[in-house]
Amino acid sequence: MSKKTGLAMLLVSFALPLSAQETADVEVDGELRIGVEQIDVDTNSSKFNEYRDRRDGLLVDRLWLDLFEPGTGRYFELAGDRLGRRDQGLWLRAGRFGVWDLGVDWTETPHLLSNKAQTPYIDMGNGRFEVPANIPVIFRRLATSGADAANVVATDSLVAAYLAQYLHPTTLGTQRDRGEARLSFAAAPGFDVRARIIDEQKSGSKLGYGPIGDRPPRTLNIQLAEPVDYRTRGVELEAEHVGERFQMAVAYQLSEFENEIDTFTWENIWATPAPGADFQEWDRAVSAFGRRPLSPDNRLQQLTARFGASGPWNGRLDANVSYGIIEQDATLLPYSYAESILVSPDLPRDSADAEMVTTHANLTYLAKPTEALSLRGYLRYYDLENNTPESQWWYVTSDTSNLNGTRSYKNNRVSLAYAFDRLELGAEGTWRVGPWRSAWTVLLEREDVARAYREADTTEDLVQFQWRARPSGTVNLRLKVAVADREGDGYNGFVTRESYWYAPSAAGTDADDPQFTFSNHPDMRRYDVSDRRRETVDFNATWTPRPELVVSVSALARDDDYDSNVTPSQPLLGTGLADQQATSPGDQLGLLDTSQRRAAIDLAWTPNETLTFSAFLIADGTESFQRSLEYNENNKENPSAVATAELGPWTRAESQWTADIDDESASLGLGFNWQVRPDQIAVRYEASWTRGRTDIDYQGFGVTNWNGTPFPTNHQFQFGDAPTIENELFRLESAVDFPFVGATKMTVGYLYERYDIEDWQQEANTPWFESVGSEYLLRDSSRSHQWGNRLVNMGSYLAPGYRGHLGYLMVSYRF
């Protein structure tokens, strides 16, 4: 059934009860608003309609019908917005008070990502994408031997010409249609049963990439549209008892996700074997296609019991327990698409089956021994047990391979069954005492997280003080101060060794032996499992000088310090290697600290019954600081061998770099609603402005070599302060309602939007990469001959800035 047919049927069904009008037995309320929209947008930017569907034409903007039969308590309510459009919503509620209730929601949500993307690919269906022709590459070498500049230039020209011939527009974006029905039934006094059914479809495409090959710079990569065709269906059943002394519910949830497209396959744009030739002409074997699995079908089942009861000290116990299973058993793809030309081993198991079991428990006891004192204690526990088999795999360099199929010992990998459990214990006391009707709250909380195959378990202790007060009938104050200390328990930076399964002898004399040395740099601390001290001050005040005026002010300061007492370490000590005394600089790497400051003011003023003003201003800034160190991973065992090399040892502090990232946002809004003549003429006005800015202050290696020599901008490692990333949206909407014909009302409205964006990752305006003959072919400015140096892309600024005007005219009939 098309949207238009459905809409027509809906309008007819809407008209039937309208014709009956209100009788003594049935109360009828409703509204119908129909009109036209006209847009004028200077740029066909997807951002204008990112999550909505504003376009020229007729529109059923609003439909509402409310029927109630007082004699029986039966009700029926139907409402819809923007019917017939891609962002339409519908809901229905029917039932009989105290007996049964049915609710149905239907929501459609577009997520438009680009109207201007271009691609040479043709969607052949079922996730397979092919190109109309391949690029007759002159320069064929993918390896690291010397470049033939003339051939490189010629090849780039060929690629640009190819793109000019074969690029065609493709829409990037998805459409999500979600339906949900809920039925509740009072089976007996104090006993209800409920059911909920969910059916959601999401289809379209999203921005994807097609890497073919082992790793950059040898990887071929291309930006392309990844197909999306998802369906999620769910059922929830619940039985509940609500009694005076205790309440209890048992619920079962089943959710099944199905991906209609299991595999994404894309043709290698760059080359195909010439007649009579094969890939052996290349330094590496190259597949004619790349392939990877898309999100697997999966199933979630969960059983939950909830319980609440009265207890001593005027208390209340709340508890819930859940037990769930998440599983999938997708078919495994072979290691490589090009099995015929690569040495492709047998897979270690038949399918990608994986299973996780979750257990959750929550206990809270709240007591009020006196009116002035409240006590709360709680326990939260979550356990994720990973039953996925751990298997030994090859990391086959999939579709391009050194020496046509052999692999490095380092590419023997184990899929680890990550798991964790989290236990939180908290105790809180609130004492209402002192001036200004003050309430003082102290919260103590401990969180323990135990993890399998991670660098650290963590324990975090939180102490929080809160003061709430009402100095007068017009002022409410709240001040919250919290300090939390997280300790990473014996950070084990060598845990990654467990993800390799080769015999130590396989490494031979290779100086990069991850089982023997390390993967992450010894000074790195991953921020989610490192030590952290968090200090938060949060203030909020509400002032109501007169009933018609409310002013709220809030401020937040939060500082996170990830200092984990990193000291110089000797990861090779005891190995017998010549370099076993090699020592890391001992400066912590990773995220070091973040600092957030936020202030907000909100005002609502209703000077009289016909006029309402509102305004808000919010400013937010987060500064984060991180450090890393560039080193040659091929010299982990013998860093002294590269002591003075550009890509040097992991021991060299001079190879460190830092990034100080300043991320700021500001929002300002103003609005009023004026009932010029109550229920007859009204004027609405809303304006808002939002700006986001990100500045990156980059220092150290990259700006200069380790010895302080500045890198030229076309050096392969050169990096520096990135241009400011900025986006700004101004929106203004105004509308006037006035009487039209008979009982109808007309609305004339206007919307203006201005969106601007600047982002160095979306255009070739930095010293680091450049367009080569085509906006759609980018090349690193170091001009390497390697293939990872090029990227065929779908265009700069896939969702560019715009200036948009929208006028609308609506007629509404309310009864």
Partner 1 sequence: MRRGRIFWTLVAMVLWSGGVVGASSVDWARVDPTLAEATFVNDDTTCADCHDDYIAAYSRTRHARAFQQGSRGGCESCHGPRSLHIEDPEASGTPWNQLSTTSQSAVCQQCHQSGSRLHWNATAHASAEVSCSSCHLVMERTSERGLLIKEDANATCYSCHAEVRGEMARMSHHPLEEGSMTCASCHDVHGSTQPAMMRGNTVNDACYSCHAEKRGPFVWEHAPARESCLNCHTPHGSNQRNMLTQKDPFLCLTCHSYGGHINLPRYNRTSNPYGSGCVNCHITAHGSNHPSGAKLTR
Site for partner 1 in 193-222 (CB under 8 A): 194, 200, 207-209, 211, 215-217, 219, 221
Give residue 257's region: left, alpha or beta (phi > 0; psi -120 to 50). beta
> Which of 8/465 has CB closer to partner 1?
465
CA-to-CA distance for 460 and 483, rounded, in angstroms? 10
| 537 contributes a contact to partner 1 by CB under 8 A | no
SS3 per-residue string spanning 348-415: CCCECCEEEEEEEEEEEEEEEEECCEEEEEEEEEEEEEECCCCCEEECCCCCEEEHHHCCCHHHEEEC
| 41 contributes a contact to partner 1 by CB under 8 A | no
| 51 contributes a contact to partner 1 by CB under 8 A | yes
CA-to-CA distance for 498 and 259, rounded, in angstroms? 32
| 464 contributes a contact to partner 1 by CB under 8 A | no
Minimum distance from residue 355 beta carbon to partner 1 (Å): 7
CA-to-CA distance for 653 and 627, rounded, in angstroms? 11
| 704 contributes a contact to partner 1 by CB under 8 A | no
Contact pattern from residue 498 through residue 517 relative to partner 1, giving x for each residue in contact according to CB under 8 A and a dash for the rest: -x------------------
CA-to-CA distance for 597 and 202, rounded, in angstroms? 38
| 602 contributes a contact to partner 1 by CB under 8 A | yes
Pairing of strands 412-414, 400-402: unpaired
| 89 contributes a contact to partner 1 by CB under 8 A | yes
In DSSP terms, which residues pair with 814 in a beta bridge? 31
Encoded amino acid at 608, one letter: N
> Which of 51/252 has CB closer to partner 1?
51
Contact pattern from residue 732 through residue 751 relative to partner 1, giving x for each residue in contact according to CB under 8 A and a dash for the rest: --------------------
By rule CB under 8 A, what count of residues binds partner 1?
Answer: 209
Q: What share of the chain is helix, strand, coil (3-state, %, to 5)?
A: 10, 55, 35
Among 61, 156, 192, 579, binds partner 1 (CB under 8 A): 192
Among 270, 768, 776, 802, binds partner 1 (CB under 8 A): 768
Q: Is the dihedral of CA 629, 634, 640, 643 positive or negative?
A: negative
Question: What DSSP assignment string belongs to 649-691?
Answer: -TT-GGGEEEEEEEEEEEEEEEEEEEEEETTTEEEEEEEEEEE
| 232 contributes a contact to partner 1 by CB under 8 A | yes
Minimum distance from residue 661 beta carbon to partner 1 (Å): 6
* Contact yes or no for 591/612 (Cβ under 8 A): no
> Which of 120/208 has CB closer to partner 1?
208
> Which of 133/340 has CB closer to partner 1?
340
* Contact yes or no for 225/121 (Cβ under 8 A): yes
Minimum distance from residue 45 beta carbon to partner 1 (Å): 13
CA-to-CA distance for 738 and 683, rounded, in angstroms? 9
CA-to-CA distance for 249 and 381, rounded, in angstroms? 19
List the interface residues with partner 1, window 146-175 (CB under 8 A): none
> Which of 328/704 has CB closer to partner 1?
328
Minimum distance from residue 276 beta carbon to partner 1 (Å): 30
CB-based contacts of 16: which residues, under 8 Å, 6+ apart?
none
| 681 contributes a contact to partner 1 by CB under 8 A | no
In DSSP terms, which residues pair with 370 in a beta bridge? 373
Which uninterrupted H or E stretch holds 780? strand 777-780
* Contact yes or no for 352/384 (Cβ under 8 A): no
| 463 contributes a contact to partner 1 by CB under 8 A | no
Minimum distance from residue 421 beta carbon to partner 1 (Å): 8
> Which of 778/806 has CB closer to partner 1?
778
List the interface residues with partner 1, window 433-462 (CB under 8 A): 439, 441, 449, 451, 453-454
Among 35, 702, 800, 804, binds partner 1 (CB under 8 A): 702
CA-to-CA distance for 507 and 410, rounded, in angstroms? 8
Minimum distance from residue 719 beta carbon to partner 1 (Å): 5
> Which of 283/753 has CB closer to partner 1?
753
List the interface residues with partner 1, window 551-580 (CB under 8 A): 552, 554, 556
CB-based contacts of 125: which residues, under 8 Å, 6+ apart?
none
| 807 contributes a contact to partner 1 by CB under 8 A | no
| 612 contributes a contact to partner 1 by CB under 8 A | no
List the interface residues with partner 1, window 384-423 (CB under 8 A): 384, 386, 388, 391, 393-398, 411, 413, 415-418, 420-421, 423
Minimum distance from residue 393 beta carbon to partner 1 (Å): 5
| 675 contributes a contact to partner 1 by CB under 8 A | no
| 190 contributes a contact to partner 1 by CB under 8 A | yes
Encoded amino acid at 145, one letter: S
SS3 484: strand
Residue 772 neighbours by CB distance under 10 Å? 20
Among 151, 364, 438, 765, binds partner 1 (CB under 8 A): 364
Minimum distance from residue 580 beta carbon to partner 1 (Å): 19
| 333 contributes a contact to partner 1 by CB under 8 A | yes
Buried b (16+ CB within 10 A) or exposed e, 56-93: eeebbbbbbbbbbeeeeebbbbbbbbbbbbbbbbbbbb
Q: Which residue has the tokens 């004339």?
A: 748
Minimum distance from residue 715 beta carbon to partner 1 (Å): 9
Of 137, 183, 143, whose CA–CA distance to 160 is shortest?
137
| 339 contributes a contact to partner 1 by CB under 8 A | no
Among 318, 485, 559, 697, binds partner 1 (CB under 8 A): 318
Among 632, 638, 651, 812, binds partner 1 (CB under 8 A): 632
* CA distances (Å), origin 707, targets 653, 701, 704, 767: 11, 9, 7, 22
Token pair belonging to 542: 């509400």
| 762 contributes a contact to partner 1 by CB under 8 A | yes
Q: Which stretch binds partner 1 (CB under 8 A): 319-327, 481-489, 570-578, 740-748?
A: 319-327
Minimum distance from residue 304 beta carbon to partner 1 (Å): 9
| 75 contributes a contact to partner 1 by CB under 8 A | yes
> Which of 240/510 has CB closer to partner 1?
240
